Structure 1
Amino acid sequence: MVRRKDIDGSESVPCFYGKELRWKREAAGLTLQQLVEGSFYGLSYLSEIERGHRRMPRDLAEHVDRRLKTDGFFARNCEDVRKAKRAGQDQGSYFKRILEVEKDAEYIEEWCATWIPGLLQTEAYARAVVRAGHPLEPQAQSDAKVYERLTRAGDLLSTGLRRPEYWVILHESLLRQPILPSSEMAEQLNQIAELAHQHRFTPQILPWNSTAHPVMAGTVMSLGFPDAPPLVYTESSYSGNTIEDPAPVKLYRRSYDRLRAAALPPEESLALIEGAAENFRNGKHQLWLEERDLTQERL
């Protein structure tokens, strides 16, 4: 039998809160399934709360207090835990939570305006992005980051039946920006096209000359789960924020729907990706840039 992993309550406020929840639940003689019965949440969601990986929503905290007869303890403290978790993200672990929960996601929707997302990156592209962000770190650390990124992509986009539905909207500039030598850029774009042909994800491209559109700054990832509310993750160069409050999550998801409507259809987007790869492969990338500049001058 697999031994249950102990929770270190000293690690963080969420871990302390989760450890107390597990202790109260077990003292009452309840399983995870028995405790969530009558709520809108699943046992995996409650398990992640106990391990300090997810926050406790107010309605679930009130349900737990009723079942465990804890006199409102979990409802009173769930907001403090949420604030502590957000503060903890400033210590460099801001992406760790997404890594912990994305494996249980039913769908992942991502918008990227400044870089190709990690799940679609080749080794060369990942290495260039990592090195640009941390130019002075030891090579071994950069290698480890690249390896972890490629491993994550291999696990999440595998051909297994459990993988999430993955939808990505990219700004067209990412297909034209030569951050790698032409041959490596062609390889990167070919990999994106191949993953799309294999139905590992659905691509859409927002044209370079689009007018004002939703979410013009930063990157956004929306995750949905079969037994838990959706969440949103936003990221900049050296920080990220996980959003679970229903109101802003709803706004982000509506914005993503409007962005999807403004982007090219998947079939047309795929053809554009393949055309950009061909331009890099045949050395015609610079010609496209010059033609775009002429078009911009006419406008």
Structure 2
Amino acid sequence: MANGSRQAAWEFFGAELKRRREDAGFTQVELGARVFVSGGYIGQFEQAIRKPQLDVAQRIDASLRTDGFFERLWRKLIKDQPYTEYFAHAAELERLATEICEYAPAVVPGLLQTREYARAMFLAGNPFATDEYIEELLKGRMDRTRLLRDATRPVYWVVLHEAVLRVAVGGAATMAHQLDHIAAMTGERKVLLQVLPFSAGAHPAMGKQMKLMEFEDTPPTVYTEGVFSGSLLDEPTLVKRIRASYDHIRAAALSAEQSLSLIKSAAEDYRRCASST
């Protein structure tokens, strides 16, 4: 399903939600209270600004007595999109964000990955997959990276743990190209990037990938990811705590200039290694 068709389908989801909510005699606030979101979120679902998560769609069905209609429609829309189910909503929110702050403890974030690095990651996670399946995953990943080249791109601030630079995903040549790409994106001011060095020791979010997203007129959201799973968090107190953890990481990281120097040095080490083999 093309992006335009998918958006039209989500607009249908929203229009149906509005019609059936009004038929049931609920205001947005009243329905929101029943499904444990704010009335403002119900309004955003109805306008197709935000997409509900599966459990919210299921609670909407229960509250409006729609016999699984919204769950079935949700599953159809998610199935026909290019990302894994647990990441699909986060990918939609990336495009709406005005600012994204990301911490990556182990691998280069998807928005900064080169095709070769992404391919190596997908093959590692799907060792028996067909070439066609890997290419489908790559298309979705590379489509996401275009976000940082848009004129309306979000402010993007990334902290990489030094481990990201030292694990040779795809081999030395792939890593040299990947780190060159990160350095170039930094030089073009598409991203503000810092490296958290090994010498920083323990920190508040060890091993936890996090992505904080700010929006023009809606509350901030945090996306965290584990093994074949991900969570979107928007409870204000929790988001505030995660923001504080990110700020601590950022304060412990090397300066932007020191970080760029380290990235370039690591790229050169990989280049020498690749040329010697």
Aligned CA-pair RMSD: 3.7
Counterparts in 2 of 1:5 and 1:281: CA distance versus 1, 3 Å: closer
Aligned counterparts of 2:107 and 2:231: Cα–Cα separation in 1: 18
Question: For residue 94 of structure 2, what is the aligned residue in structure 1?
Answer: 102
1:182 Cα offset (Å): 1.6
Indicate yes or no: 2:134 matched with 1:142. yes
**Residue-pair matches, total:** 239
Aligned counterparts of 1:267 and 1:22: Cα–Cα separation in 2: 54
Whether the 8 Å CA contact 1:193–1:273 is kept in 2: the answer is: yes
1:77 Cα offset (Å): 5.8
Question: For residue 58 of structure 1, what is the aligned residue in structure 2?
Answer: none
What 5-or-longer segments of structure 1 have no aligned partner?
A: 10-14, 29-40, 56-72, 79-83, 287-299
Question: For residue 225 of structure 1, what is the aligned residue in structure 2?
Answer: 215
Query: Secondary structure, in 3 states, of the residue corresponding to 2:8?
Result: coil
Amino acid of the structure 2 residue aligned with 1:180: G
Whether the 8 Å CA contact 2:156–2:191 is kept in 1: the answer is: yes
Which of 5, 13, 16 does residue 8 from structure 2 map onto?
A: 5
TM-score scaled to structure 2, two decimals?
A: 0.75
Whether the 8 Å CA contact 1:19–1:50 is kept in 2: the answer is: no
Question: For residue 241 of structure 1, what is the aligned residue in structure 2?
Answer: 231
The structure with the larger Rg is 1
1:247 Cα offset (Å): 1.4
1:209 Cα offset (Å): 2.5
Aligned counterparts of 1:94 and 1:170: Cα–Cα separation in 2: 23
Aligned counterparts of 1:274 and 1:96: Cα–Cα separation in 2: 33
1:25 Cα offset (Å): 6.2
TM-score scaled to structure 1, two decimals?
A: 0.70
Aligned counterparts of 1:285 and 1:263: Cα–Cα separation in 2: 31
Question: For residue 169 of structure 1, what is the aligned residue in structure 2?
Answer: 159
Counterparts in 2 of 1:284 and 1:148: CA distance versus 1, 3 Å: closer
Query: Secondary structure, in 3 states, of the residue corresponding to 2:118?
Result: helix
1:19 Cα offset (Å): 3.0
Task: Show the 5 A alignment for 1:106-117.
Answer: 106-117=98-109
1:100 Cα offset (Å): 1.3
1:269 Cα offset (Å): 0.6
Give the number of the structure whose residues are more often helix, by fraction: 2
Query: Secondary structure, in 3 states, of the residue corresponding to 2:103?
Result: strand
Amino acid of the structure 1 residue aligned with 2:100: I
Counterparts in 2 of 1:211 and 1:231: CA distance versus 1, 3 Å: same
Amino acid of the structure 1 residue aligned with 2:133: Q
Amino acid of the structure 2 residue aligned with 1:157: L
Aligned counterparts of 1:284 and 1:147: Cα–Cα separation in 2: 27
1:271 Cα offset (Å): 1.0
Whether the 8 Å CA contact 1:276–1:285 is kept in 2: the answer is: no
Aligned counterparts of 2:210 and 2:263: Cα–Cα separation in 1: 21
